[in-house]
Structure 1
Amino acid sequence: MNYTLKNKRALVTGGSRGIGAAIVKRLATEGADVAFTYISSPDRAKEIAEAIQAFGVQALDIQANSAEANEVVAAVEQTVEKFGGIDILVNNAGVVQMAPIDDFTLADFDRTFAINVRAVFVATQAAVKHMQEGGRIINIGSTSAERVSFAGGSVYAMSKSALQGLVQGLARDLGPRGITINNVQPGPIATDINPPEGEFAEMLKKQLALPRYGTVEEVAGMVAYLAGSEAAYITGANLMIDGGFSA
């Protein structure tokens, strides 16, 4: 372990499964104290918290629904209270709702933007009040912001595209304060809700330069790099990790 993030304090939204859980574990192995939110499965959240404490860091699991702005703000405040501040915010919580335009309900549209866009803004606004120079904000976007290769993904893609404009604008706001903000945009990544086998997966693999799904650990590695001191000159960027899907 390199401990490149020793004494740093992080909050990862949606950190109990998939990409989020991998990010929580990677930041902890780098020496950061890590808080993370989850919406259900408290037993799994407790297991992750206990696992990262084995690295000699502090852990905090927080039940919070990213669709509720007050719960997002409360998660930031609980992190600050527990750790004495916050240095790294990873906006990972997200929802994927796919449907053709004729079938996409307004309720699903509103929920998609509440979680994928509004919660990112709310968490960022709350976190930067406590961040010092060297703060890091990292959003988990999607390659769908650049390319949608199948029907039914329009609203999801629009929500992830919104993060691109938010990051580019906030880079200007936060730059003078020494705080960076970037998007990590994964392509097909193997998770329990996005298995790398099956008809849909085989369709996507044909569109990749590297004909395989990525791993959650590969995404977590990029996040850890952006959270560290070597990435201090990267801000306002939308960084692909997609096996060449958007190439």
Structure 2
Amino acid sequence: MKTLTYLFLVLLLPGAAAEAQLSKQRKSMIPPEPGTINVEDMLPKPVMLKVLQEAPVYTRSALEQAIGSMAPGTVVKLIGLSDTAYRVRGRARHGDVSGWVRMGDLLSPDPNLVTNLRKLHERQTQVEEMIANKQVALGMTGDEVQASLGKPARKSTKINAGGREEKLEYVVYERVPQFTTGLDPLGRPVQSVVYLKVETGNMAVTLKDNVVDSIEETKGNPLGSGGVKIVPGPIFFNW
């Protein structure tokens, strides 16, 4: 009997773990509703809100179908927002839920929370586009510059009464296609392409207190015809 019980547990636990992992994957793959913003992964630490009054919890941001309610004083985690509601995760009267609650039913740690989160989302969208295109802009942080351009060829640091200044020097390359023609095993002509890494210019990026303050083209035109781009500087929260 003990052997059968042991075998049953061995078979059950991996299945339960797999089911939990699948549930986690399904949850992470759910896209945000149109017009809403997911903030859970944007912030270095979670934002906790407090329920002010009996608060219905809804399945959608339109606040049309309630799935329960939260008691006054309940502390919940912010995971998204729309124009009129927060998406939160926490304890409702019937159990743990994730859903939408009217903004007026929750107390925020910052009166400018929504405005700043929208600014942060807009900035993050711009920076992600710059990184995807391997570009740099005024207002980016040092980590964002290196995520876009990689490790600099040279780096120097200067510290004075005004703060910390860093200079990152980059050699900029372009991938140039080279086409060649050969024969396949049957003797038929086949064209292939090889990309060569060709130096197109040099660029120096200066950061003051870890934010890009100036960009200098020291050789060629690595910034291209668009010139210097600007993104909003980092946004800091007071909580």
TM-score of the aligned structures, taking structure 2 as reference length: 0.22
Relative contact order: is structure 1 or structure 2 higher (C-alpha 8 Å, sep ≥ 6)? 1
- Structure with greater strand share of residues: 2
- Structure with greater helix share of residues: 1
Q: Which has the higher Rg, Structure 1 or Structure 2?
A: 2
